[in-house]
């Protein structure tokens, strides 16, 4: 009996640095020399800004929200984000 192994993971992971500016007048993603700056209209209360950040990055990078995770900085403006994209 032959057995072949298949890789079920067809994604590559990137870690990006993001600086968040909650309470802004508009939503915006800008690439900067250190990573990305993301302006959010939502407030930083009860995790709303983190949820909104994932939604905005999902649209910007064209990936599902489930493929974006906050690695560090849950309660900080400076965050490391794990972004999974199709390989």
Residue 50 near residue 65 (C-beta atoms within 8 A): no
> What is the chain's mean pLDDT, rounded?
89
Which DSSP symbol is given to 75?
T
Identify which of 76, 72, 77, 67 has the alpha carbon closest to the alpha carbon of residue 14. Answer: 67
Residue 6 counted as domain residue: no
Q: pTM (2 decimals)?
A: 0.85
In total, how many domains does the chain have? 1
* Helix runs in the chain, H state only: 48-61
Rg of the Cα trace of the chain? 16
Residue range of the domain that includes 74: 11-86
pLDDT of residue 86: 83
The CATH number of the domain holding residue 55 is: 3.30.1200.10
pLDDT tens digits, residue range 23-65?
A: 999 999 999 999 999 999 998 888 899 999 999 999 999 999 9
């Amino acid at each position: 009996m032959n057995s072949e192994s298949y890789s079920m993971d067809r994604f590559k992971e990137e870690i990006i640095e993001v600086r968040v500016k909650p309470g802004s007048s508009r939503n915006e993603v800008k690439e900067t020399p250190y990573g990305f700056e993301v302006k959010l209209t939502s407030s930083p209360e009860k995790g709303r800004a983190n949820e909104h950040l994932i939604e905005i990055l999902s649209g910007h990078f064209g990936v599902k929200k489930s493929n974006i995770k906050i690695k560090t900085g849950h309660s900080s403006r400076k965050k490391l984000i794990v972004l999974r994209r199709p390989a």
